[in-house]
Amino acid sequence: MKIRTKLLTGYLAIIILVVLIGGVALSMNYNTGDQLEEIDNKYWQGSKAVMDLRTNIYAMQGHAMCYVNEEPEAIEEIEEFKEEISENLLDMEESGLFDVTTLNTIDDSVDEFYDTISEVCAVVDTGIDADIDVTVEEMDEQAEEFKEYLEGIEEDAKSEMDMQILDLDDSLAFANTLILITMVIVLGFGLVFSFSASKSISSPIIMMTKAADEVSSGKKDVEFLNIEGDDEIGTLAKSFNRMINSVMLAIETLEGKEE
C-alpha cells in the first residue's frame, strides 16, 4: 500500500470517528432538548388545566351561594361552569401529566361536588333554613377538600417533573463526559498514528542518508539497507541497495585495474 494511501486511510478514519462522536453528541443534545420541552409543555398544559378547574370550582361554589341568596339566574351560570369543568378534565387527560388513577379520582370528586351543588339548590327550593345551612357547610367543606387535593397533585406533578429533568441532566452530563473521554482517546490515537507515520517515513530516509554518506566517503563495506515493504519507501530502499551494489562493484573494478 502506498504511503499516501496509508496516511489518507488513517486520517480519514480519525475524521470519521470525530464526525460520528460529534453526531452522537448533537443527537443526544437535541433529543434531550426535545424531551425537556415535552416535559415542560406537559406540565404547563396539565397545571393550567388544574388551575382552571380549581377556579371553576370556586366559581360554581360562589354561584351556588348566589342561588342560596335568592338569585335564580345563578342556576344557569352553574350549568355553564359544568361545561367548562368538563373541558378542564379533558385538558388534564390530554396533557398526559396525570395517571389514570388520579384522573378517575378527580372525575369521582367532580361528580360528588355536582351532587352536593344539586342538593344545595334543591334544599334552597324547599326554603328550610336549617337544611340550607347544613348543605352549604357540606358544600364548602367538600370544595375545600377538593381544591386541596388538586393543589397536592399539582405539587406532586411538579416534583415528578423536576426529577425527570434531573435524570435527563444527569444522563446528558454522563453522555457528554463519555464523549469527551472518547474524543481524547481519538485524539491520542491520532497523535500516535501521526508519530508512527512520520517515523516510518523519516527513519528509512535517515538510514539512506547515512549509507549515502558512507558511500561518498569511500567506505567499502557499506551495509545494504534492511528496509522491506511494497510502498514507495520500500521501492526506494531496493533501488538504493542496487545503487550501493553497483558503486561497490565499480570501486572493485577500478581497484582491480589499478593493480
pLDDT digits (tens, 9 = 90+) for 137-168: 888 898 888 888 988 888 888 888 888 888 88
Give the pLDDT band of residue 255 (cuts 50, 70, 90).
low
Phi, psi of 209 (to 5 degrees): -65, -45
pTM over 0.85? The answer is no
Give the pLDDT band of residue 7 (cuts 50, 70, 90).
low
Per DSSP, the residues of 66-129 read: HHHTT-TTHHHHHHHHHHHHHHHHHHHHHHT-S-HHHHHHHHHHHHHHHHHHHHHHHHHHHT-H
pLDDT in tens, 180-227: 777 777 777 777 777 777 777 777 778 778 877 777 777 667 677 777
Q: Where are the domains of the chain?
A: 15-187
| Domain range 15-187, CATH architecture | Up-down Bundle (1.20)
The pLDDT value given to residue 4: 61
Cell numbers for 2, please give them: 502506498
- Look at residue 259 and tell me whether its pLDDT is greater than 60: no
- Look at residue 90 and tell me whether its pLDDT is greater than 90: yes
Question: Cα separations (Å) of 238 from 65, 225, 246, 250?
Answer: 108, 8, 12, 18
- Look at residue 257 and tell me whether its pLDDT is greater than 70: no
The pLDDT value given to residue 87: 93
Nearest to 241 by CA among 221, 253, 227, 255: 227
138 and 116 in contact (C-beta within 8 Å)? Answer: yes
Averaged pLDDT for residues 3-22: 71
The pLDDT value given to residue 134: 86
The pLDDT value given to residue 1: 52
Question: What is the largest distance, in Å, between two alpha-carbon atoms of the chain?
Answer: 150
pLDDT in tens, 20-77: 777 777 777 778 778 888 888 888 898 889 989 988 998 888 888 888 887 888 888 8
Give the pLDDT band of residue 88 (cuts 50, 70, 90).
very high
Rg (CA), the chain: 43
Nearest to 147 by CA among 60, 40, 68, 41: 60
Cell numbers for 19, please give them: 464526525
Give the pLDDT band of residue 256 (cuts 50, 70, 90).
low
The pLDDT value given to residue 104: 92
